[in-house]
Amino acid sequence: MKHSSIAVLGAGSWGTALALLLYGKGHHVNLWMRDKEQRDEIRQTGENKQYLPNVSIPEELNLLTDLEEAVKNVDVILTTVPSQAVRGVLQQISPYINSNQVIVNASKGLEQKTLLRISEVVEAVLPGQSYVALTGPSHAEEVCKEMPTTIVVASKERKTAEYIQDIFITPTFRVYTNPDLIGVELGGALKNVIAFGAGIADGLGFGDNAKAAIMTRGIREIARLGKAMGANLATFAGLTGIGDLMVTCTSMHSRNRRAGILIGEGKSLDETLKEIGMVVEGITTTQAAYQLAKECSIEMPITEEIYRILYEGTNARDAVTNLMTRTRTHELEEIVDEETIKW
């Protein structure tokens, strides 16, 4: 295929890993970061020590701190900055981009103040700009080592999704397309909330039984809210639903799970964030999901208890008791579909 020019905005672990993947395919890659010190350190050491240590970064990879230089005249702009920073970055690049460029977002979250999905943020700042969401079960630490990984790209336009599919796909990085932009974005964002809860259970010393319950009931919550917001329920049975939930709830690569473990062990939120040292998307997404559930009149008990732990000071063990002693009910339901139960 024809090689493309791509600006990767954000040099955290995921941005760095995707920049390396794209560079390895022969694309021209601009990797933009805010911090000149970070750029200089990468140049001097040949690795991104803070976010992706022990991974070699070739000298030919174009490292930039100037946004205009990074995005001007490229074919694709890939945003990997934290969800709460996406709007600001888009506003900064808006004078320098043209209508033919495709915005691809690889951040997984909801905008906290507006409760918008990232595609809605892009539409608000850059109306009519072609947009693709890239998400799925994919740890940067494994992608940069070329371990087999499968992800999904979603867009309102099939041609655009397939264009991005061709740019990213490699023998070790398989890319699927999906037209359900709402479901793909919600699955990627909300799984971080449930993974935070799985981490709390681990931190409290609970076992596999508890984690299985959180994951299974968690995907039910995600699907329930997704259905209310117009998503295709089948999406939540796929890579961006169950797949991403599994990997984020079970892996120590997951900073959401690691943060939950620290909370479960009794650390404060400030102590937890300091120890993780990177953005934990599940914390802000919990607040957004909690508010969306209220607006949609959707029951999301796991999300509600995590919200109370994070924002109301509820003790983690008390939250578990609240979940376990809820009004008894039945579970004659499909994972991603709901029928009236006659029993």
Per-residue pLDDT band for 338 (boundaries 50, 70, 90) equals low
pLDDT of 241 higher than 90: yes
Burial class, 159, CB count within 10 angstroms (exposed 0-12 / middle 13-18 / buried 19+):
exposed
Distances (CA, A) of 212 to 141, 217, 325: 25, 8, 18
**Residue 50 tokens, joined:** 């803070």
Phi and psi dihedrals of 177, rounded to 5? -110, 155
Per-residue pLDDT band for 54 (boundaries 50, 70, 90) equals very high
Contact 288, 111 (CB under 8 A): yes
Report the pLDDT averaged over residues 57-61.
Answer: 94
The string of pLDDT tens digits covering residues 264-285 is 999 999 999 999 988 899 999 9
Q: Considering the domain 182-324 in this protein, what is its CATH number? A: 1.10.1040.10
The one-letter code for the residue type at 31 is L
The DSSP string of 123-161 is HHHSTT-EEEEEESS--HHHHTTT--EEEEEE-SSHHHH
pLDDT at 326: 79
More confident residue, 332 or 114: 114
Per-residue pLDDT band for 1 (boundaries 50, 70, 90) equals low
- Domain chopping of the chain, boundaries: 5-179, 182-324
The string of pLDDT tens digits covering residues 145-160 is 999 999 999 999 999 9
Report the pLDDT averaged over residues 45-73.
Answer: 96
Closest of 18, 29, 28 to residue 55, by C-alpha: 18
pLDDT of 14 higher than 70: yes
Distances (CA, A) of 81 to 1, 32, 204, 313: 28, 10, 31, 29
pLDDT at 330: 67
**Rounded Cα–Cα distance for residues 10 and 57 (Å):** 15
Strands annotated E in 106-243: 130-135, 149-154, 173-178
More confident residue, 328 or 201: 201
Lowest mean pLDDT among 1-5, 142-146, 212-216, 268-272: 1-5
Mean predicted lDDT score pLDDT of the chain: 94
pLDDT of 343 higher than 50: no
Whether CATH 3.40.50.300 fits 5-179: no
Active site residues: 191
The string of pLDDT tens digits covering residues 98-136 is 999 999 999 999 999 999 999 999 999 999 999 999 999
Contact 219, 197 (CB under 8 A): no
The string of pLDDT tens digits covering residues 245-256 is 999 999 999 999
